[in-house]
Amino acid sequence: MRWSFVRLTAGSVLLCWVVSFVVLAAWSRSRSWTEKRARTDGVFLAYEILDGEERQDRAARLHELRQHYWVPLALVSNQEVERSVGKSVHPGEHIPHRESHREAWYFLVFADGSGALAAGPVNPVLPPGMIPIGVVLAILLLPLLAGLLAVAVDRSLRRVERASDALGRGDLTARVESGGGSELAERFNAMAEKVERLVKSRDELVQAVSHELGSPLARLRFHLEFLETEPEPTRDERFHAMARELDALDELVAELLSYIQSDDHALDLRAFEPGPLIVDLAELATLETVETCPVEVELELREDAGGVADVRLFQRAVENLLRNAVQHARTRVVLELAQDEAGLHVTVHDDGPGIPDDLRDQVKLPFFRLEPDRGRQTGGAGLGLAIVNRIVERHGGQLAIGASPFGGAAVRTSWPGPT
C-alpha cells in the first residue's frame, strides 16, 4: 500500500502540474502588451522625453532614464525596426510587436525620423515586480492540494484494506466506516454483507444437516435394526413408521432447498393484483387442514390492491404464513390485504397461543422453534418464518410480528406498492 500511495501522490501532483501549465499557457497566449499597459509602464513618457532631446543627446539621457524603468529600453535605427516588424515605418509611428507568446516589443519612431525607441523584450503574461498567481498555483498550491487529496484517498484505501484483512481472518462483521459517503466503502460493505449472508447460510445448512436430519435418520436406523427380528403381524406397522420418517425427511429437504434458494435467483419484479392469488392460497390452506380439527380461513381483501413483486416468491411467502397460522390456530385464521401510501400489506391473524414478546425477533431466524422438543407435526423445521423474512427483505419490505385481536399472533408483511 505504501508504493500505491507514492504512485498516487506522484501521479496527482504531476497531473496538477500538467493541467496548471496548460491553463497558464492558454491564458498567456491571450495576453498582449497593449498601448494602455505600455503607457502604465512609462514607455510613452520615456519616448516623449527622448523625442524632445537633440539626436546626439538621446543616448546619455536614456542612460539616466534606465535607472527608473523595469522595462529594457534601447535606441535602434529605423532599419532594425523594419527588420523586426517586417514592414516600413514612418516618423512618429508607434508599433507594438509580439515576437512570441512570451516576448513582446514596443517600437516608437522619433518624430524627426532619426531612429526609434525600442522597449522590450518583455513577457506580456508576467506582471512586473511579482510572481503571477498562475505560477504559484502551478508550482505550489495545486500540487499541495493534490497531495492532500492523495492522503485522503490513501486513508480510505487503508480502511478498506483493514476491513478486508479482518474479513479474510473470519470476522464477518468487519465493515468500513463510510464517513463522507465513500462509494468504495459502500460497495465493500455491500460485498461484505453478501459474504456474511452466504457464510451464515452455509453454517445454517450444516447445522440443519447435523441436527434436523439426525433425528429421523436415527429413528430409521432403529426401525431397520428391529425389522429383521420383528414378528410378521407387526412388520407392516414398522414399515408405515419408516415411511412416515421418509416423508418427514422429504419435507425437511424441500424446506431446506426453499430457504437456500430464496436468496439465489434474481427478482423478477412485475406489477400484479394479489387478490385472486390470495383467494386461491386460502382455499388450498382450508383443504389441507386436519379433519379432526378444522380451521376456518377468513379473508378481508381490498379489491383494488396492487403491488410490485416477484409473484412466485410472493406466493411462497403468503403460503408459508397461511400454513404456519393454520398449524397453530385453534379454529380461526384471518388473512387481511390492505394498501396505503407506504405500499402493500398482507397480515395473517390466528387464534392460537401466540408468540411471546421476547421471542418475536428470534422466530425470524432459521431453525428456531418456540418449543424445541415438539414433534414435526406441530413444529416443522423452523424455517417457515425465516423463508418469509428473507423474501420480504429482498423486496425491500419488512416482516413484523405482533398480537392478534383474536388472541393469537399477527404476522404482517409489507411489500412495494405500484409506482
Phi and psi of 347, rounded to 5°? Answer: -125, 135
Helix, strand or coil for residue 290? Answer: coil
357: Cβ–Cβ under 8 A, 6 or more apart, which residues? none
Instruction: Say if residues 86 and 20 touch (Cβ distance below 8 Å).
Output: no
Question: Residue 102's closest CA among 13, 17, 207, 28?
Answer: 28
Q: How far apart are CA 229 and CA 338, in angstroms?
A: 60
Instruction: Say if residues 262 and 390 touch (Cβ distance below 8 Å).
Output: yes
pLDDT digits (tens, 9 = 90+) for 383-396: 778 888 888 988 88
**Beta strands 116-122; 73-76: pairing state:** antiparallel
pTM above 0.85, yes or no: no
For 157, counting Cβ atoms within 10 Å of its Cβ (0-12 exposed, 13-18 middle, 19+ buried), the class is middle
Residue carrying the nine cell digits 404456519: 324
pLDDT digits (tens, 9 = 90+) for 274-291: 999 999 888 888 776 655
Strand partners, 347: 336, 412
Residue carrying the nine cell digits 402493500: 344
How many degrees, rounded to 5, is the angle at CA 266 between CA 262 and CA 271? 100
Amino acid at 238: R
What's the distance, Cα to Cα, between the start and end of the chain in Å?
Answer: 46
pLDDT digits (tens, 9 = 90+) for 136-195: 666 667 677 777 777 777 777 778 888 888 888 888 788 887 654 567 778 888 888 888
With b meaning 16 or more CB within 10 Å and e meaning fewer, what string describes 360-393? beebbebbeebeeeeebeebbbbbbbbbbbbbbe
Domain boundaries, the chain: 32-122, 268-415
pLDDT digits (tens, 9 = 90+) for 1-31: 456 666 766 776 777 677 766 766 665 555 5
Higher pLDDT, 403 or 238: 403
- For the domain made up of 268-415, give the CATH fold: Heat Shock Protein 90 (3.30.565)
Q: How far apart are CA 289 and CA 294, in angstroms?
A: 6
DSSP state of 304: T
pLDDT digits (tens, 9 = 90+) for 89-117: 899 898 888 877 678 888 989 998 889 99
On the CB side of 162, CA atoms within 13 Å amount to: 8
Instruction: Say if residues 50 and 58 touch (Cβ distance below 8 Å).
Output: yes
Instruction: Say if residues 50 and 61 touch (Cβ distance below 8 Å).
Output: yes
